[in-house]
Homo-oligomer: A and B are copies of this chain.
Amino acid sequence: MRPSGRAPDQMRAITMEAGFTRHAEGSCLVSFGETRVLCTASVETNLPPWLRGKGKGWVTAEYGMLPRATHTRGRREAASGKQSGRTQEIQRLIGRSLRAVVDLEALGERQITLDCDVIQADGGTRTASISGAWVALRLAVDGLIEKQLLAADPIRDKVAAVSCGIHDGTPVLDLDYVEDSSAGSDGNFVLTGRGQIVEAQVSAEGDVFDEEGLLRLLRLARIGCGEIFAAQDRATGR
């Protein structure tokens, strides 16, 4: 029995509230159970210097956690003067995952920045961020299409992410904070709507694992991402 009482292949409740804020070109408040992340997409025509004049765009991400999103208050990164290694690792992963489904040439000379800010944390903040950021991105691109600023849709597919881990010997899906803290190994999978893998990352946290474990986790991830894709469809009205 996993601590959350869920079945091994059972996701937490997923909600995605599109348009949660009004200034961003796209926004989504995503919840995976008690984990809540506000994702916004900002469209700018001011590209980073190394990309200017190449006829293509860029998609990037930043990640942050409100100081009291967690059980005990963490130090505000703006006050400590630098982003932690964890923060940087996560925002690099989010950007990479979304770029995997975007045709940067079709996007034209634009940069879209996905800001993923964790309002409340209960495990899986990076996977919720990727999944919600896709909705914000989709809405922002829809806006560009509506304004006839794009000749073709640069988004090639959906993308979603979910964590999996081996808890007490059992592979389980979508770990919450308590499960994550006690998992022998855990990882994150990023999948496309067509079922292909964008990123697979599994780490031993105490217990090493083997091929079979890796494949079982991937199979769970497919189940979870299926549910997330459905939630994305509802949120974007598709």
Chain A residues in the interface with B (C-beta under 8 A)? 21-24, 27, 34, 36, 38, 40, 42, 44, 62, 64, 66-73, 76-79, 81-89, 91-92, 96, 100, 113, 115, 117, 119-121, 187, 192, 195-204, 208-211, 213-215, 218
Q: By CB atoms of chain B within 10 A, which of A36, A83, A187 has the most?
A: A83
- Of chain B, the residue at the smallest CB distance from A113 is B73
- Which residues of B are found within 8 Å of A78, using beta-carbon distances? 64, 76-78, 82-83, 87
Name the residue in A70, A120, A196, A203 with the highest tally of chain B Cβ atoms < 10 Å from its Cβ: A203
Q: Which of B42, B86, B92 contacts A68 (CB 8 A)?
A: B42
Q: Give A198 to B208 CA distance when docked, in angstroms.
A: 5
In the bound complex, do residue B115 and residue A76 qualify as a contact, i.e. CB atoms below 8 Å apart? yes
Sampled A-B contacts (6; CB under 8 Å): A62-B79, A67-B115, A88-B89, A196-B204, A197-B204, A200-B200
Kindly list 5 other residue pairs between chains A and B, CB separation below 8 angstroms, not including A62-B79, A82-B82, A85-B91: A21-B68, A76-B115, A196-B208, A197-B209, A199-B202
Give A218 to B70 CA distance when docked, in angstroms. 36
Q: Does A202 lie within 8 Å of B200, measured CB to CB?
A: yes
List of 5 A-B pairs having minimum Cβ-Cβ separation, nearest first: A85-B88, A77-B78, A196-B208, A42-B73, A40-B68
Find out whether the CB atom of B23 lies under 8 angstroms from the CB atom of A119.
no
Complex interface: chain B residues within 8 A of A81 (CB): 81-82
Chain B residue contacts of A119, Cβ below 8 A? 21, 38
Contacting residues, chain B, for A88 (C-beta < 8 A)? 84-85, 88-89
Closest B residue to A84 using CB positions: B88
In the complex, which of the residues B23, B40, B71, B214 contacts A200, with contact meaning CB atoms closer than 8 Å? B214
On whether the beta carbons of B196 and A100 are closer than 8 Å, the reply is: no
User: Which residues of chain B are near A92, meaning CB under 8 Å?
Assistant: 85-86, 89
